[in-house]
Amino acid sequence: MLSKYKEYARKRTMSRHLSNTEQFAALSRVGAALMSELDEKRLLHLIAETACELTGASFAAFTLRPTNERGQVIGPSEGNFFSLAAIVGVTQEQEKMFQRMSLGGEGLLAPIFRQGLSVLVPDVLAYYHKRASQGEQSGGPASSAARADAFAFVHGQRTTDGIHAVGLPRAHPVMRSFLGVPLLDRERQVRGGLLLGHGEPNCFTGDDEAMLTSLASQAAVAIENARLYDALQMRVQEMNAIFEHIADGVTLVDGQGRILRENSAARHLRETLVHSPQGRQALDALLYHPAQRALTGKVVSDSGSEEEEHGVSEQDAITVVDEAGGQHEAREYLVNASALHQAKPLSSPLPTPQQSTISGAVVVWHDVTEARRLLLERRARAESDARLALLQLVLDELPSSAYLVRGSNARLVLANHAVATVWGAHWQVGEPMADFLKEHGIRIFDVDGQPMATERLATLRAVRYGETVHQHQEVIRHPNGTHLPVLVNAVALKVRELYLSPADLLNAKADIEEPAAIVVHQDVTALKEADRLKDEFIGLAAHELRNPLAILKGYAQTLIVQTARGRGAELADWQLEALQSIDQSTSRLVELTEDLLDVTRLQAGRLELQMQPVNMVSLTQRLVARLQIMTDRHTISLHVPSHYLIVQVDPHRIEQVLSNLIGNAIKYSPEGGPIEITLCEDDEQHTMTVCIKDSGIGIPANQQGRLFGRFMRADNAQEYGIGGTGLGLYLCRELIERQSGRIWFESCEGKGSTFYISLPLVEAS
């Protein structure tokens, strides 16, 4: 049996030596094939099949260390970090087993994977027996079953079926001959291994080892090329994706300025401009002119000029009108164009700038519209912040309260330090005025102590109706119960002129019509005190004048009456005229003192009204009859709808009001004429209205808004020489409003005036 085995080995060796020439030729052919194959999976199978073909191995396995997506090795070479990459000559079940295994530096594989050395074992059993005998000499255990199998196989008592190398899994192919070489990269690091096996001993020689080592070297280069190709393809895909999806427009042109390639942004802009009226001119500025300048090239001077070597940078933005979709939108672009140089062979010397050949150019369009808008906004914001800081500094130095509000709900924009003092609480920026007052329990009253409706506040009148309010009197009641009288001036502003905060800049289009107002509060506590003292003095003076005036008027009337009755000496005409003048003057003084006393009572809150049902028809009829006797140049007519119009008023005070208004109609109609008095009833509102119309001098339009104030008179009355104190209309308004009524007028200068009084009706019963 042994002689038969030796004869078999001799014949096999002869056949191998005879085919060496063919094997080296095949190695050369496979080397060319390896260099041309770029698919790593097919390449690895080709290497394994070539190894089996060249060496006559039964099976071949290719192992590799794992790499990341960039081809970089993961983990150290020691340990079980090698996995199966390709295998030939085994069954599918065996291939699946190998794929689940992790190969490392143990046993026969240790020199390959750890030191990068090739391993040739002619007979694995002989290798095992040697290791086993070393183990017995050292007292270690031996595998008797494995030794019995090997003895039986050598003596022809057992076939190769079921014979396994020591330490191999049961499903592993039978292996008596083993040849393994490492796969080394350019840094001589182990990247993997090429492992061959055969079921017969002595199947691999030193020539096979040398040939396999050469094949492994070529395989290492081929694998590196394949992985570099894969990495290159990945980079090409990445660059294509970046090129297509970059926001800037990028265009490549050849040496004649023809477009070779362009990304989607450049293509869209170019196609848009082609169909626009001024498209050609814009394309010249954006593409063709910069490309031609780049293709021409510029040389940097020794003095370091701004010219760029073979490139151009257009730093002035080019404005292009985009008319897509029927909309005209101006866009600004910065254009950068750079030359592309023709590649030189590696063997050629590096060209000088004068020798380099320009093969094309790349033109980049960068849309700076948004960036410039943001830059302008940033500058405007900085300027706005500076103006705001300066305005805040100026406002804080003012002694009076001053604040800026915007919107129909009067949201606070900015305020000075005095605002917190006036309100007695801190008003947050952006908080509506009504919310601020409600939150802190602040109430606002008019000068008569009546709560003011929200719509009557000067601040809200300015922002809601665009009014400019001057010297509006309000009384602020703080949460602690203290009162602060103020004069309010509110000026309506245009929001388009107010860019005081970043929000204004960002939302200018949305709220350009939103109203705004600047409001100033002046603390008039000291003035109110002085006014109170003045009223007290006037009241005291008027009160002290009543008795002397009464005596003077009484004696003047007595002299006139008694003389007319023939009692006493007869008076001369001039004496009688003097007495009549005294009587009329004292009458006017009595009226003045009464008016002054009423004003002081109103200011002090001491005016008492005796409210009772009054028939306005009969009251007006009596008053008209009495006043008609006093003038023969005016015709007073009265129009009433019925005999009864009952209101709840103070009869004395309502008669005082009507007498004042009818007297004004007479007085301010110096040329005479009709005076029409109409009483009408409004069933829906359940009110009655008194209308007094004259055709006198009228009231100038610019003075009508302040005519109900104290001591206020129209200028044209003074021009006509018509006397008066300016207290009559003030008292009329106060008396009517305190009786739940309303008074207003309509007037046209030179054509007369019409005054209206509205009072609530009560049941006639």
pLDDT tens, residue by residue, 411-421: 998 899 889 98
Residue 136 confidence (pLDDT): 47
Task: Dump pLDDT digits (tens) for 59-75.
Answer: 998 888 776 665 566 65
User: 497 falls in which pLDDT band (50, 70, 90)?
Assistant: low
Task: Dump pLDDT digits (tens) for 22-39.
Answer: 666 666 666 666 667 677
Residue 548 confidence (pLDDT): 82
> In the predicted model, what is the mean pLDDT of residues 318-331?
60
Report the first-to-last Cα separation within the chain, whole angstroms.
152
- Is 423 exposed, middle or buried, given 0-12, 13-18 or 19+ CB atoms closer than 10 A? buried
Residue 742 confidence (pLDDT): 93
Residue 151 confidence (pLDDT): 43
- Taking the C-alpha atoms of residue 665 and residue 728, their distance in angstroms, rounded to an integer, is 12
Of 744, 749, 625, 628, residue with least CA distance to 692: 744
If one compares 78 and 220, the residue with the highest pLDDT of the two is 220
User: 11 falls in which pLDDT band (50, 70, 90)?
Assistant: very low
Length of the chain: 765
Dihedral angle over CA of 575, 580, 582, 584, nearest 10: -170
Q: Is the dihedral of CA 650, 653, 656, 657 positive or negative?
A: negative
Mean confidence (pLDDT) of the chain: 78
Report the b/e string of 617-636 with b at 16+ CB within 10 A.
bebbbebbeebbeeeeebeb
- The domain locations on the chain are 2-123+176-231, 247-298+309-342+357-367, 395-522, 530-604, 612-760
Report the b/e string of 548-576 with b at 16+ CB within 10 A.
ebeebbeebbebbeebeeeeeeebeeeee
Residue 632 confidence (pLDDT): 87
Residue 233 confidence (pLDDT): 84
> In the predicted model, what is the mean pLDDT of residues 265-285?
81
Q: Give the lowest-confidence range in 12-16, 220-224, 441-445.
A: 12-16
SS3 492: strand
Residue 706 confidence (pLDDT): 81
DSSP 582-613: HHHHHHHHHHHHHHHHHHHHHHHT------EE
> In the predicted model, what is the mean pLDDT of residues 742-755?
92
CA 386, 389, 395 angle in degrees (round to 5)? Answer: 140
Can you give the C-alpha Rg of the chain in angstroms?
57
SS3 236: helix
Question: In this model, does residue 645 exceed pLDDT 50?
Answer: yes
- Taking the C-alpha atoms of residue 626 and residue 624, their distance in angstroms, rounded to an integer, is 5
Please report, for residues 455, 497, 512, 602, the alpha-carbon distance to residue 491 in angstroms, rounded to integers and kept in the order given.
Answer: 16, 14, 18, 30
If one compares 265 and 139, the residue with the highest pLDDT of the two is 265
Roughly what angle, to the nearest 10 degrees, separates helices 144-154 and 124-137? 140
Contacts of 559 (CB under 8 A, 6+ apart): 571, 579
- Taking the C-alpha atoms of residue 521 and residue 573, their distance in angstroms, rounded to an integer, is 61
> In the predicted model, what is the mean pLDDT of residues 261-287?
82
If one compares 597 and 628, the residue with the highest pLDDT of the two is 628
Tell me the CB-side half-sphere exposure of residue 118, using CA atoms within 13 A: 21
Residue 386 confidence (pLDDT): 86
Question: In this model, does residue 14 exceed pLDDT 70?
Answer: no
Q: Give the lowest-confidence range in 342-346, 498-502, 665-669.
A: 498-502
Alpha helices in 640-703 (DSSP H): 651-667
Task: Dump pLDDT digits (tens) for 74-92.
Answer: 655 444 567 788 889 888 8
Question: In this model, does residue 315 exceed pLDDT 80?
Answer: no
- Taking the C-alpha atoms of residue 655 and residue 652, their distance in angstroms, rounded to an integer, is 5
Give a three-class secondary structure readout of 12-59: HHHHHHHCHHHHHHHHHHHHHHHHHCCCHHHHHHHHHHHHHHHHCCCE
Question: In this model, does residue 694 exceed pLDDT 90?
Answer: yes
Structure tokens given for 740: 């739940």
The top-scoring range by mean pLDDT among 313-327, 452-466, 549-563 is 452-466
What one-letter code names the amino acid at 614?
A: V
Task: Dump pLDDT digits (tens) for 196-218.
Answer: 999 888 888 888 888 888 888 88
Instruction: Please report which helix (H) or strand (E) contains residue 251, including its range.
Output: strand 249-254
Question: In this model, does residue 571 exceed pLDDT 60?
Answer: yes
Residue 511 confidence (pLDDT): 52
What one-letter code names the amino acid at 654?
A: I
Residue 79 confidence (pLDDT): 47
Question: In this model, does residue 120 exceed pLDDT 80?
Answer: yes
The percent of residues above 90 in pLDDT, for the chain, comes to 17
The percent of residues above 70 in pLDDT, for the chain, comes to 77
Q: Which CATH class is domain 395-522?
A: alpha beta
Residue 415 pairs in a beta bridge with 403
Residue 375 confidence (pLDDT): 87
Residue 355 confidence (pLDDT): 52
Q: Which fold has domain 247-298+309-342+357-367?
A: Beta-Lactamase (3.30.450)
Task: Tell me if 40 sits within 8 A of 227, measured CB to CB.
Answer: yes
> In the predicted model, what is the mean pLDDT of residues 534-551?
75
CATH superfamily of 2-123+176-231: GAF domain (3.30.450.40)
User: 744 falls in which pLDDT band (50, 70, 90)?
Assistant: very high
- Taking the C-alpha atoms of residue 114 and residue 137, their distance in angstroms, rounded to an integer, is 28
> In the predicted model, what is the mean pLDDT of residues 677-689?
91
Query: What's the distance, CA 299 to chain centroid?
Result: 47
- Taking the C-alpha atoms of residue 511 and residue 496, their distance in angstroms, rounded to an integer, is 9
> In the predicted model, what is the mean pLDDT of residues 619-641?
90
Q: Which CATH class is domain 612-760?
A: alpha beta
Domains 247-298+309-342+357-367 and 612-760 alike in fold = no
Question: In this model, does residue 7 exceed pLDDT 50?
Answer: no
